[in-house]
Amino acid sequence: MKSINQLKYYIIFCLLIGCISAPKVVFKEYVDTKTRSISFQKKRIFSFDESGVYFSNDFEGARLNNINQLNDSTYVLSILPENKPINPSPFYAFKIWSSSSKKVLLRFKYPEGYKHRYIPKIKSNGNWKIVDSLNFKFDQNISSLILTINETPKIISGQELHTSSIIYNWVNDLVKGKENYVRFKKIGKTKLNRPFKVLDIYKGLPKNKPVIVLLTRQHPPEVTGYFAFKAFLETILKENELSSSFLDNYRILAFPLMNPDGVDLGHWRHNAGGVDTNRDWSFYHQSEIKTTVDYITKVLNKNNSKLLLGLDFHSTYYDVFYTNIERKLTALPEFLPKWFSSLEERIPEYKVNEKPSNSRQPTSKGWFLYAHKAVGVTYEIGDDTPRDRIKLIGKESAQAMMRILINSGE
């Protein structure tokens, strides 16, 4: 522990040069987020030459640990988590092909205590589609998929694969021609040395501009939240009067991939440090969270700016907004009712599902509230929400946010 004199010198040093590191935030429930070991998959091709059937997990985002062949057409796929304890949401992704056209039965096997969550998606000829319900049996213990395969490899995955290369390529395309007000830059690296990046978006001078933070993919398989994030960000960057006026007055810090290692490793939940990063918003043991909060803190301190709103895009079994009960002390006490009302008015047959509670564990929505008195929202999209519907929700929620903030004069 620092002595009194050491603390005095530290405070003076911070006042003179400006401290970059974000202060720790205390939550009611402690969660240990110190780094833990993970189990890496052995990347390989699983060959069953007599049957002429082949599997592979040798690509970004894959999750397949072992295969047992029961007979000529039946295969049991073992899917293991990166470590335990872990959220009971098994993720899988693998390639499959055969030397001749044939029908196979695939059974998904998880460790005891875990059950199937994601309905299989198939990528064939560059397109993703959900499996025919007649060919998929959803069971508490062992779920099974009937599949016709041939010489052309198909990817079978719990959700569409959007790995770091795909995401960063999307961002690079998105910001082309907008480099004068969109800065896409590396601000750190992960445990496994993957780049960690941010979009820093504003027009004019940054001084005193209020800040909105957007996050996604803390949990690797949660791509539907990422799809909403995409539509949200694309709407903000669309060249029109609304977006231009908004970016003249506000600054966006958007983090399109909060867990690059976990996404590319095909993890169920955790990063390469074996931790749920959405429980690390207190002591910042994990590099992804420390890099994020340090960058936000640096931006706010350097520009005398205030953080107003933080949206963290996730996925769960259904669409829901997890919010904080505390509103009066935040920077935008009337924002949420206005925002939700606008969504219900503008999206056909849409009813906002809000679940308010002040965060007891160190999640991002609690950090926004306790560290900055900002409105914090965990923006959840259902696993199976239609993809066109997600785009509409993302678009309308971004437009509503911009209109409300412009009119608020914050």
> What is the rounded average pLDDT of the residues 132-156?
92
Report CA-CA distances (Å) from 204 to 156, 186, 249, 405.
46, 22, 9, 18
Angle between helix axes 241-249 and 223-236 (nearest 10 degrees) is: 90
Last residue in a domain, options 130, 157, 184: 157
Per the model's pLDDT, the better-predicted residue between 119 and 139 turns out to be: 119
pLDDT tens digit sequence for 16-39: 434 567 889 999 999 999 999 999
Last residue in a domain, options 125, 140, 157: 157
- Does residue 380 lie in a domain region? yes
* Cα–Cα dist 326/376, whole Å: 10
- Does residue 14 lie in a domain region? no
**pLDDT for position 142:** 81
Domain count, the chain: 2
CATH label of the domain that carries residue 100: 2.60.40.3120
**Domain check: are 99 and 183 in the same one?**
no
Whether residue 128 contacts residue 93, with contact meaning beta carbons closer than 8 Å, is answered with no
**pLDDT for position 410:** 61
Confidence of residue 14 (pLDDT cuts 50, 70, 90): very low
**Domain check: are 189 and 312 in the same one?**
yes
- Does residue 227 lie in a domain region? yes
**pLDDT for position 19:** 53
Two tokens, residue 6: 């050491």
- Does residue 40 lie in a domain region? no
Confidence of residue 405 (pLDDT cuts 50, 70, 90): very high
Two tokens, residue 244: 């231009």
User: Which DSSP string corresponds to 353-374?
Assistant: -EEE---SS--HHHHHHHHH--
- Does residue 358 lie in a domain region? yes
* Cα–Cα dist 367/374, whole Å: 9
* Cα–Cα dist 125/295, whole Å: 40
Could you tell me which residues are beta bridge partners of residue 45?
56
CA nearest 253: which of 83, 109, 129, 368?
A: 368
**pLDDT for position 409:** 67
**pLDDT for position 201:** 98
Q: Which H/E stretch holds residue 314? A: strand 307-316
User: Which DSSP string corresponds to 57-88?
Assistant: --STT-B--EEEE-SSSEEEEE---SSSS--S
> What is the rounded average pLDDT of the residues 354-382?
98
* Cα–Cα dist 159/130, whole Å: 9
Q: Is 90 a residue whose pLDDT tops 90?
A: yes
**pLDDT for position 12:** 37
* Cα–Cα dist 116/110, whole Å: 8
Whether residue 353 contacts residue 202, with contact meaning beta carbons closer than 8 Å, is answered with no
Report CA-CA distances (Å) from 403 to 230, 249, 367, 380, 409.
19, 12, 25, 22, 10
**Domain check: are 253 and 151 in the same one?**
no
Q: Is 331 a residue whose pLDDT tops 50?
A: yes
Per 3-state DSSP, the chain is made up of helix, strand and coil in percentages (nearest 5) of 30, 25, 45
* Cα–Cα dist 332/308, whole Å: 7
Q: Which residues contact 219 (CB under 8 A, 6 or more apart)?
A: 87, 259, 262, 269, 276, 278, 314, 315
pLDDT tens digit sequence for 240-274: 999 999 999 999 999 999 999 999 999 999 999 99
Two tokens, residue 347: 């999206």
3-class state of residue 142 by DSSP: coil
Confidence of residue 6 (pLDDT cuts 50, 70, 90): very low
Confidence of residue 232 (pLDDT cuts 50, 70, 90): very high
CATH label of the domain that carries residue 387: 3.40.630.10
- Does residue 13 lie in a domain region? no
Whether residue 82 contacts residue 267, with contact meaning beta carbons closer than 8 Å, is answered with yes
**Domain check: are 148 and 206 in the same one?**
no
**Domain check: are 114 and 135 in the same one?**
yes
Terminal-to-terminal C-alpha distance of the chain: 41
Neighbour count for residue 98 (Cβ, 10 Å): 19
**pLDDT for position 8:** 38
Neighbour count for residue 8 (Cβ, 10 Å): 11
Report CA-CA distances (Å) from 65 to 51, 78, 117.
20, 6, 18
Last residue in a domain, options 129, 157, 185: 157
**pLDDT for position 29:** 97
- Per the structure, the complete domain to which residue 254 belongs is given by 19-35+162-408
**Domain check: are 119 and 265 in the same one?**
no
> What is the rounded average pLDDT of the residues 214-241?
98
**pLDDT for position 228:** 98
**pLDDT for position 139:** 74
- Does residue 274 lie in a domain region? yes
**Domain check: are 255 and 362 in the same one?**
yes
**Domain check: are 210 and 287 in the same one?**
yes
Q: Is 15 a residue whose pLDDT tops 70?
A: no
> What is the rounded average pLDDT of the residues 223-230?
98
Q: Is 10 a residue whose pLDDT tops 90?
A: no
Could you tell me which residues are beta bridge partners of residue 145?
106, 136
Pairing, β 320-323 against β 251-255: unpaired
Residue 347: burial class (beta carbons within 10 Å; 0-12, 13-18, 19+): middle
3-class state of residue 242 by DSSP: helix
**Domain check: are 259 and 276 in the same one?**
yes
pLDDT tens digit sequence for 284-294: 999 999 999 99
> What is the rounded average pLDDT of the residues 230-238?
98
> What is the rounded average pLDDT of the residues 215-240?
98
**pLDDT for position 18:** 44
**Domain check: are 244 and 114 in the same one?**
no
pLDDT tens digit sequence for 160-217: 999 999 999 999 999 999 999 999 999 999 999 999 999 999 999 999 999 999 999 9
Q: Which residues contact 358 (CB under 8 A, 6 or more apart)?
A: 324, 325, 326, 366, 369
Neighbour count for residue 321 (Cβ, 10 Å): 20
